[in-house]
């Protein structure tokens, strides 16, 4: 069996590819399974599931939602969700509403800083209903203020920078509970996304989130070193957690990250997918 990628984004949130295009890319790369995990929306899943019938691969309906933990955002991916589950859709609607409020504040800050950008321009480059900072970054790069999207985040839009605005995030217990009620499994996405996150940090969060029903962690990710990957695999075994992995593919909106291979060194084996299916079959997510 081929490799898998259980963390990809479409233009329903902040990716550049349609759900159908994602499936075509996955097929060309001979991936055995991919999961659509758009930020705070499931609007791309209908197309994703419909078009998947054309390809010999597993299409996993999912999402990615940020939750608040100790004044910081932690990302949770939900896999195998029922994208028509009403309570889950209501939660995502609330999250998007809070995103919209933050977007207006970001526009104000950017204009005060001298950047010529309007909310209409941001809405114009966003194909889906979940609009976020990558769309701001795209415009600021196109206007020549920055050279590439990550520079916008590093110098302007990330936490602590002049253009950053916090947003209201849901409680982790509620998010995990609703993922489960929608038939899904909840995974902690990129647990060591920043350089200062280590084993003690990961275990301190897990000691809380496992009690809330967390099913697994993303141990394979585009930016992980081999040491980080091995550390997370050991943690998953220690706590009897399911293991996931993916590239966080955003197409042109995250240059250099390729589906299935990340920056070139990522390879999530099919056995990981089999392990998730086994945990799911035994009711690990309930």
Pairing of strands 58-69, 72-79: antiparallel
Over range 107-125, report the average pLDDT. 92
Contact 175, 202 (CB under 8 A): no
pLDDT of residue 197: 66
Place of tokens 């976020």: 132
221-271 pLDDT, tens digit each: 999 999 999 999 999 999 999 999 999 999 988 889 999 999 999 999 999
pLDDT for the residue numbered 100: 87
CA distances from 123 to 11, 102, 103, 104, 139 (A): 12, 14, 10, 11, 11
Every domain of the chain and the residues it spans = 4-92+168-281, 102-157
Q: In 3D, which of 258, 277, 281 has the Cα closest to residue 31?
A: 258
Residue where the block lists tokens 């029903």:
213
Look up the pTM and report it: 0.89
Token reading at 138: 């795209």
> Which pLDDT score, from 0 to 100, does residue 196 have?
60
Rounded mean pLDDT, 27-53: 97
Backbone angles phi, psi at 44, to 5 degrees: -90, -10
Stretch among 114-118, 123-127, 163-167, 174-178 having the lowest mean pLDDT: 123-127
Q: What confidence score (pLDDT) does residue 65 get? A: 97
- CATH, domain range 102-157: 1.10.150.650
The DSSP letter of residue 261 is T
Q: How far apart are CA 189 and CA 39, in angstroms?
A: 12
Contact 229, 219 (CB under 8 A): yes
Q: What is the CATH number of domain 4-92+168-281?
A: 3.20.20.140
> From the CB of residue 76, how many other CB atoms can be counted at a distance below 10 Å?
23
């Amino acid at each position: 069996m081929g490799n898998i990628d259980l963390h990809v984004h479409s233009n329903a949130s902040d990716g550049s590819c349609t759900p159908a295009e994602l499936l075509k890319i996955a097929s060309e790369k001979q991936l055995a399974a991919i999961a659509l995990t758009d930020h705070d929306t499931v609007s791309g899943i209908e197309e994703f599931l419909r078009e998947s019938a054309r390809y010999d691969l597993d299409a996993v309906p999912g999402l990615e939602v940020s939750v608040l933990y100790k004044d910081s955002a932690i990302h949770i991916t939900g896999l195998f969700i029922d994208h028509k589950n009403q309570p889950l859709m209501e939660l995502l609607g609330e999250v998007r509403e809070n995103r919209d409020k933050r977007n207006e504040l970001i526009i104000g800050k950017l204009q005060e800083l001298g950047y010529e950008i309007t909310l209409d321009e941001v809405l114009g480059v966003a194909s889906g209903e979940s609009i976020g900072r990558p769309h701001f970054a795209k415009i600021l790069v196109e206007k020549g203020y920055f050279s590439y999207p990550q520079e916008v985040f590093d110098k302007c839009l990330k936490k602590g920078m002049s253009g950053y605005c916090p947003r209201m995030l849901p409680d982790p217990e509620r998010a995990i509970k609703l993922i489960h009620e929608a038939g899904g499994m909840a995974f902690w996405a990129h647990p060591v996304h920043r350089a200062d996150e280590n084993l003690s940090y990961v275990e301190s969060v897990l000691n809380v989130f496992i009690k809330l029903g967390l099913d697994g962690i993303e141990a394979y990710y585009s930016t992980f070193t081999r040491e980080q990957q091995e550390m997370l695999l050991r943690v998953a075994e220690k706590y009897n957690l399911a293991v996931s992995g993916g590239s966080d593919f955003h197409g042109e909106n995250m240059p250099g990250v390729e589906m299935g291979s990340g920056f070139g060194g990522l390879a999530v084996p099919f056995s990981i997918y089999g392990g998730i299916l086994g945990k799911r079959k035994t009711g690990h997510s309930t």
